[in-house]
Amino acid sequence: MAIQGKISKISGPVVQAEGVAGLEMHELTMVGEAELIGEVVRVEGETATIQVYEDTVGLKPGERVTGSGLPLAVELGPGLLMGIYDGIQRPLEVIQKMTGDFIKRGVKSPALSRGTKWHFVPVAKKGSKVQGGAVLGTVQETPLFLHKIMVPPRLSGTVKSIAKEGDYLIEDTVAEIETSSGIEELKLYQRWPVREPRPYQERLEPSDPLITGQRIIDTFFPVAKGGAVAIPGGFGTGKTITSHQLAAWSDAEIIVYIGCGERGNEMTEVLLTFPEWKDPKSGRPLMERTVLIANTSNMPVSAREASIYTGVTIAEYFRDMGYNVAIMADSTSRWAEALREISGRLEEMPAEEGFPSYLSSRLGEFYERAGRVRTLNGEYGSVTLIGAVSPPGGDFSEPVTVHTKRFVRAFWALDSSLASQRHYPAINWLTSYSEYVDYVEHWWTPLTGGQWRQKTLRAMEILKREDELKEVIRLVGSEALPEPEKLVMETARLLREGFLQQNAYDPIDTYSSPEKQYKLLTSILAFHESANRAIAAGVPASKISSLPALAELAKLRMSVPSEKISIIDDFMSKLLKEIDALTEEKS
């Protein structure tokens, strides 16, 4: 029998209920006459504190609170892809048809459509032994994605019956498993608590890079599949556009995009552009491999706190099928602000800048769910977490950024000064870092003849030297520099304008294949080495810098498609001959 009590106190999204002995932590509850969705966050004797995921305006002391006996969980099955959900997995498109453009209190709808039929193809055989994660059958959910219907993680036994190939509703039984405790009927979907990581056999070291098509990321600050990344940056530095680019072009098989506390217009842009964008591999709409969690800043703050867990649980489900999944969480700062507000309502002792003392552990729990694993069914899958951070005023010393750095291994620091110069992506190459370079170097070796690490280090030396020389130039002017140092400034300019910059709205430049990235980088470095020899022979740096071909070198990123990179070789052959001619003239 469901546990029932009464509301004794209301403080914003936090409600206190009395007479509810037996309620458990994280149990799903129905609050008030409207049966608002809530979750137990504190239990003290017969009193429970509940955070409500809907607007509590109009709620009164004395109204009933009913426990469900179940934790806050998500539905996992066919129909997730192309879905748009709020922070607690309510389908927004369905609710819009029910209530209009604004979500009314107490509105409920199952996350997965109960009226859609899916074509089920059985894989498991009657009489076979199965354990958690075993594949019972498949459903072609979209043209891009084969959905594997799996045994829930904690279940094992013998297949007593399996459905024939055909069309089934999501509530239809497709298999019966005989377990030690009886017969379990399995449907096309399963449920899983959002705050509990899904189990796996073994956690593995990162191996292959997540190719994003963004040159500064793939070449200088790569992330491995199963890695964790932070993208901190102040207002206007391009966090959202960077997240969009990663979602559109990364080679992950599934994208989960979480708009956590972002402005409505930013989520509107996602909803309008994602259906139009094409998957780079197949040419199909990107939405066919995407799940959107939209929890905008005008939605209840407690649902914002849950949205992160909803998204990562969905990602782990796809990982368990053996897929590589990428999560874009924009932004974790808004999630941390939700934690701060709820903590204040709970009257907890605040820590630095008002955030709760457990902020660090909560961030750790979230980023810990990234990883490359061997799944329960022996396949290999990964979840890559990419979290945008919005430090007030671009101050990277604030708590969310500082604690996030402890749990991520790649840090793409967005720079306001670069953004003001219209240099995008505004990732500062001097303050960013990646600890995945050693893991992914083997992947680049056959592509670059083992030269990738050497070339990137050489380019970074030039960029660091440019930063040092800027201080000298401010004091004595550029004309006082020695000729080799003038060349360093010119090569650094080419690296910035011809390699690090990338135009998300240019049809050619928006994506660079790894082959094109390496070709552009080696071309600029080849120019530098050739020009160095010319300067050693007495050719002035100004004469080399005035070559018309240099302007074209900086524009190759936008003029040469990834499938026609041989054009770069032809161009460089001509440029190097021009530099050699200058050397011969001098000698």
**Per-residue CA distances from 405 to 77, 335, 389, 401 (Å):** 34, 16, 11, 6
Closest CA to 521 of 542, 498, 538: 498
pLDDT at 286 > cutoff 70: yes
**407 marked ligand binding residue:** no
Residues above pLDDT 70, as percent of the chain: 100
pLDDT at 272 > cutoff 90: no
Residues near 86 by beta carbon (within 8 Å), at least 6 away in sequence: 92, 103, 293, 294, 295, 299, 303, 307
**233 marked ligand binding residue:** yes
User: Residue with structure tokens 């200058």?
Assistant: 582
**Topology (CATH level 3) of domain 4-71:** Elongation Factor Tu (Ef-tu); domain 3 (2.40.30)
Region 536-550 average pLDDT: 91
Q: Edge to edge, what strands does the sheet with 129-130 contain?
A: 129-130, 157-162, 173-179, 182-187
Residues 83, 87, 91, 92: is their CA dihedral positive or negative?
negative
- 226-250 pLDDT, tens digit per residue, is 999 999 999 889 888 899 899 889 9
User: Residue with structure tokens 């401010």?
Assistant: 474
450: helix, coil or strand? coil
Residue 216: phi, psi to the nearest 5? -65, -30
Region 344-371 average pLDDT: 93
- The Cα 212–Cα 437 span in angstroms is 15
Q: Name the token pair of 523.
A: 């071309």
**237 marked ligand binding residue:** yes
Name the β-bridge partners of 389. 232
Residue 159 and residue 126 in contact, taking contact as beta carbons nearer than 8 Å: yes
For the chain, the domains span: 4-71, 113-188, 202-435, 451-586
pLDDT at 1 > cutoff 80: no
Give the pLDDT confidence score for residue 280 in this predicted structure. Answer: 74
Q: Give me the numbers of helices (H) and strands (E) for the chain, helices first please.
A: 16, 26
Give ∠ CA 286-84-249 in degrees, rounded to 5: 25
Q: Is the peptide bond before 425 cis (omega within 30 degrees of 0)?
A: yes
How many other CB atoms sit within 10 Å of the CB of residue 31? 26
- 433-467 pLDDT, tens digit per residue, is 999 999 999 999 999 999 999 999 999 999 999 99
Question: How would DSSP label each residue in 295-364?
Answer: E-TTS-HHHHHHHHHHHHHHHHHHHHTT-EEEEEEETHHHHHHHHHHHHHHTTPPB-GGG-BTTHHHHHH
- 358-416 pLDDT, tens digit per residue, is 999 999 999 999 999 999 999 999 999 999 999 998 899 999 999 999 999 999 999 99
Residues near 23 by beta carbon (within 8 Å), at least 6 away in sequence: 3, 5, 17, 29, 40, 43, 48, 67
Give the pLDDT confidence score for residue 586 in this predicted structure. Answer: 73
| CATH number for the domain formed by residue range(s) 451-586 | 1.10.1140.10
CA 179 to mean position of chain CA atoms: 38
Give the pLDDT confidence score for residue 587 in this predicted structure. Answer: 63
**Topology (CATH level 3) of domain 113-188:** OB fold (Dihydrolipoamide Acetyltransferase, E2P) (2.40.50)
pLDDT at 45 > cutoff 80: yes
Q: Which of 55-59, 259-263, 532-536 has the lowest mean pLDDT?
A: 259-263
**238 marked ligand binding residue:** yes
- 197-230 pLDDT, tens digit per residue, is 999 999 999 999 999 999 999 999 999 999 999 9
Give the pLDDT confidence score for residue 104 in this predicted structure. Answer: 84
**240 marked ligand binding residue:** yes
Q: Radius of gyration (Cα) for the chain, nearest Å? A: 28
Average pLDDT, the chain: 93
Residues near 133 by beta carbon (within 8 Å), at least 6 away in sequence: 150, 151, 153, 320, 375, 376, 377
Name the β-bridge partners of 231. 388
Amino acid found at 317: Y
**235 marked ligand binding residue:** yes
The superfamily (CATH) of domain 202-435 is P-loop containing nucleotide triphosphate hydrolases (3.40.50.300)
